[in-house]
Structures are given as structure tokens and as C-alpha cells.
């Protein structure tokens, strides 16, 4: 019987840090063994702005996950939520000499594709195949096992600011573990929420985070476009704080309790009480005033998403529509507003296919956290963890499943 693998994901966001430890069961399902959730510190718009504060929050999250799982964590797959992301298309070719193409040939072709001039201040995050060409035959998605003399691959190369990655890497290192891989936020979320049918037909994943909004476009099963926008749910909270003269923590509470995206759905006689700055007593606030503030910013975010989709050039290839996830997707009314502005089918998704300690993470806000674990199933050289504290066991290295090789190649990392 194949040894069950352990995977660890570390989601470092603007509002929270979440560490998950999971066991891979039956080749695919995740049993959540450990959960560590901490309020985030030292992170703004997905980027580190205080290394010491960020590393302390990360360390507390890791400690909680270790305590609940019984494992000592040495490394983790870590999300990348910063906005300094760019991508390019590159091609690489290798000679085959008429024999059967194997896995090493694919690696060589992808290595050739990423041999591009990357500025010293940039670092490659992902190299993702978009199709192979063997001796002139195009649109080959799985070349392994085929014969040929020359194989060419078209790859989507995603880079980020090297300083952004190094600062986050340092924070994680100061918390006592290594980064085994970085995964762009919307790509991680996609692994937790998308169906294969949606990937093949053409779909947009929109990860509405606190500090940033991730956008990923899938066409014919592959990532054709990805970016991170510097706007998120915290902008709505800030608008509420300014408009109603509230502390930020109270504004966030008001948003979660009374918030709604569409003013047209709110009755005229709905009120709630708040204590504003400079006041000792609670005052009555018309809910329509709150929703008017929220609607303006939510509309701006969705228009920016619409512009990003059009900028990609794939806006006419997305019959599966939009899948909304992330904490911002929990705002009531956001699905209807998104469908109206984007003029596409829209659904809200949360991570599924999990058992174990799932109570805290079964919402759209944890799509990235769970998606990091799903990436861990697909890749080698991921997490190494110490034996269970109770005693026996060897350190576990996750290996790619043989029957998942096609998916692994589609989501390959450098």
C-alpha cells in the first residue's frame, strides 16, 4: 500500500495567516490534521512591510498547526499575494532523435523555455505549459509516450519582484521553516475550487482578498493569464470607517454584520446602531447609507476585474464564466453585482473534498489555504516534516502521483 503523504500550506495574507497540515488519503482527498489561524501583522496589500511583525504572526500560526496536528513542520508551500506580478509567453525546443518522448524530455523543453532574460530584480514564480508541438503537429497537451524528432513547448512564465519574494522568504525562515515553493494566490485558490470542465471550457477565477484581488484565466485546461490587483476588501472597510466615522475594527464588524453590495435590494426602513468617533452614545444609522458606501467601492473593484479580463485578450473564450472566492466573496449581493457588471455567469466557491478539522476553513476565505495543499499533492520536493511526536515514522517527502503527471506538467514550477 502506498504511504500516505503529508502536505503543509502556509497562507500569508493581509488579514490572516493560516497554516494547514493535511494527510493525502485515497490518492486525492485531504484529511486536515492541523489548523493554525492568526491575525496577520506586518503585511500590507500582500507584501511584507514589517519583517519582525510578520514573522511573529507566521510563527504563532505554525505553532498552532503543529500543536493540533502533532507534527513538527520544517517546510511549507507558501502563497504569493503581492501585486508586482508580470507574465510573458516563451518557447523552448529540444531534439528527440526519433525515440519515445519521456518525462525528462518535457523537463528539458520547459527548462529551455524559461531560459529568457529575466531582470536582476525579478524572479520566476511559475513556468506553465500551454501546449506542445512535435515535428509540426500542434496543440499536443500530453507528449509523453509519443514519437518525434523535435519537440517545442509554449510556456506561460510568471515572475514577481525578487525583493517581494525574498522578504517573504526571510519572514518564513525567521519563523523556523523553509519555503518549498511559492504559489501565486489565484492559482492556489483555483486548485481548491475549479472543476476540470470549467478549466477546459474557459473560466475566470477571482480571489477577492483583504488587500489584493487575484485574477486567473483558464482556457483549454491551462493558465492563460494571471495577475494580482492592488485592491481588496480592506478598501471597503476603510471607506466605511471614513464615511461613518468609525474605528477600522468597528467598520469591519459593521461590514460583516450589515454589509450588502447592491443598494437597490435594501428596504428604506432598515437601521442599525453604532458608536462613532467623538460620541459616547450609540446612534442610529440608515443601512442604505452603509450599502451606498459599499456599493461604490465594490463596483470599482468589479470594473477593475472586467478591465483585467479584457486586457488579457481572452474575454471571448470564457463560457464557464467567473468563479468568485476569497473573503470578499462572502459579501452578500456580490454575486448578483458581479454577474451584472461582468455580464457572465458567476458562482461563489468554497474549498471542498476535505475531512477532518474543517470547521474553521470551510468558507471562501480559505480557498488559497486549501489550494496550497492541493498543489502539494501534485509536486515533488515539497514538504518535509519530522515524525509524529508520539514516536515512529520517517520524514515524508511528497512525490507526484503517476496518474497525476499530466496535471503536474500543466502546473509545473521552476
pTM of the model: 0.87
- Mean pLDDT value across residues 160-164: 94
Report pLDDT digits (tens) over 58-71.
Answer: 999 999 999 999 99
Q: Is the pLDDT of residue 396 over 50?
A: no
Tell me which of 1.10.1200.10, 3.20.20.105, 3.30.420.40, 3.50.50.60 is the CATH number of domain 195-348: 3.30.420.40
pLDDT at residue 414, rounded to an integer: 46
Q: Is the pLDDT of residue 398 over 80?
A: no
Q: What percent of the chain has pLDDT over 70?
A: 90
Q: Is the pLDDT of residue 382 over 90?
A: no
Report pLDDT digits (tens) over 134-161.
Answer: 999 998 888 999 999 999 999 999 999 9
Structure confidence at residue 379 as a pLDDT band (50, 70, 90)? low
195-348 shares the fold of 85-160: no
Range name among 73-77, 199-203, 389-393 with the lowest pLDDT average: 389-393
Closest CA to 64 of 6, 8, 29, 19: 19
How is the chain split into domains, by residue range? 85-160, 195-348
pLDDT at residue 211, rounded to an integer: 94
Structure confidence at residue 187 as a pLDDT band (50, 70, 90)? very high
pLDDT at residue 98, rounded to an integer: 83
pLDDT at residue 4, rounded to an integer: 62
User: Which residues pair with residue 181 across a beta bridge?
Assistant: 77
Residue 391 in grid coordinates: 514516536
pLDDT at residue 391, rounded to an integer: 32
- Mean pLDDT value across residues 333-355: 96
Q: Is the pLDDT of residue 394 over 70?
A: no
Report pLDDT digits (tens) over 81-140.
Answer: 888 898 889 999 999 988 999 999 999 999 999 888 788 999 999 998 888 999 999 988
The domain defined by 85-160 folds into Dna Ligase; domain 1 (3.30.1490)
φ/ψ of residue 308, rounded to 5: -65, -40
Alpha-carbon span 93 to 91, nearest angstrom: 7
pLDDT at residue 352, rounded to an integer: 86
Report pLDDT digits (tens) over 247-270.
Answer: 999 999 999 999 999 999 999 889
Amino acid at each position: 500500500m502506498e504511504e500516505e503523504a503529508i502536505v503543509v500550506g502556509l497562507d500569508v495574507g493581509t488579514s490572516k495567516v493560516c497554516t494547514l497540515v493535511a494527510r493525502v488519503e485515497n490518492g486525492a482527498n485531504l484529511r486536515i490534521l492541523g489548523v493554525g489561524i492568526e491575525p496577520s501583522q506586518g503585511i500590507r496589500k500582500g507584501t511584507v512591510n514589517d519583517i519582525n511583525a510578520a514573522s511573529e504572526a507566521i510563527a504563532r500560526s505554525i505553532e498552532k498547526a503543529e500543536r493540533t496536528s502533532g507534527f513538527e513542520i520544517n517546510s511549507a508551500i507558501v502563497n504569493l499575494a503581492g501585486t508586482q506580478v508580470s507574465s510573458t509567453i516563451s518557447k523552448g525546443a529540444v531534439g528527440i532523435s526519433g525515440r519515445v518522448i519521456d518525462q525528462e524530455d518535457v523537463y528539458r523543453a520547459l527548462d529551455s523555455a524559461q531560459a529568457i532574460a529575466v531582470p536582476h530584480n525579478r524572479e520566476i514564480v511559475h513556468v506553465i505549459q500551454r501546449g506542445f508541438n512535435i515535428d509540426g503537429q500542434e496543440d499536443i497537451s500530453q507528449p509523453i509516450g509519443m514519437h518525434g524528432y523535435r519537440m517545442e513547448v509554449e510556456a506561460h512564465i510568471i515572475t514577481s519582484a525578487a525583493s517581494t519574494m525574498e522578504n517573504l522568504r526571510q519572514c518564513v525562515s525567521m519563523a523556523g521553516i523553509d519555503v518549498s515553493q511559492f504559489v501565486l494566490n489565484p492559482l492556489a485558490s483555483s486548485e481548491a475550487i475549479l472543476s476540470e470542465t470549467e478549466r477546459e471550457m474557459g473560466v475566470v477565477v477571482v480571489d477577492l482578498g483583504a488587500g489584493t484581488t487575484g485574477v486567473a484565466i483558464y482556457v483549454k485546461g491551462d493558465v492563460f493569464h494571471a495577475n494580482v490587483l492592488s485592491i481588496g476588501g480592506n478598501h471597503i472597510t476603510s471607506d466605511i470607517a471614513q464615511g461613518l466615522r468609525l474605528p477600522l475594527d468597528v467598520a469591519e464588524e459593521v461590514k460583516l454584520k450589515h454589509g450588502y453590495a447592491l443598494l437597490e435590494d435594501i428596504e428604506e426602513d432598515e437601521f442599525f446602531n453604532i458608536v462613532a468617533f467623538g460620541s459616547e452614545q450609540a446612534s442610529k444609522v440608515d443601512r442604505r447609507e452603509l450599502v451606498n458606501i459599499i456599493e461604490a467601492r465594490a463596483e470599482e473593484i468589479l470594473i477593475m476585474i472586467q478591465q483585467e479580463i479584457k486586457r488579457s485578450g481572452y474575454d471571448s473564450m470564457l463560457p464557464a464564466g467567473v468563479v468568485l472566492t476569497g473573503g470578499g466573496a462572502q459579501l452578500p449581493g456580490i454575486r448578483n453585482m458581479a454577474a451584472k457588471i461582468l455580464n457572465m455567469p458567476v458562482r461563489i466557491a468554497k474549498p471542498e473534498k476535505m475531512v477532518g478539522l474543517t470547521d474553521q476553513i470551510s468558507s471562501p476565505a480559505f480557498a488559497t489555504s486549501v489550494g496550497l495543499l492541493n498543489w502539494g499533492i501534485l509536486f515533488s520536493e515539497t514538504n518535509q516534516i519530522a515524525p509524529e511526536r508520539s514516536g515512529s515514522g520517517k520524514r515524508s517527502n511528497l512525490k507526484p502521483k503517476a496518474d497525476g503527471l499530466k496535471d503536474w506538467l500543466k502546473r509545473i514550477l521552476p
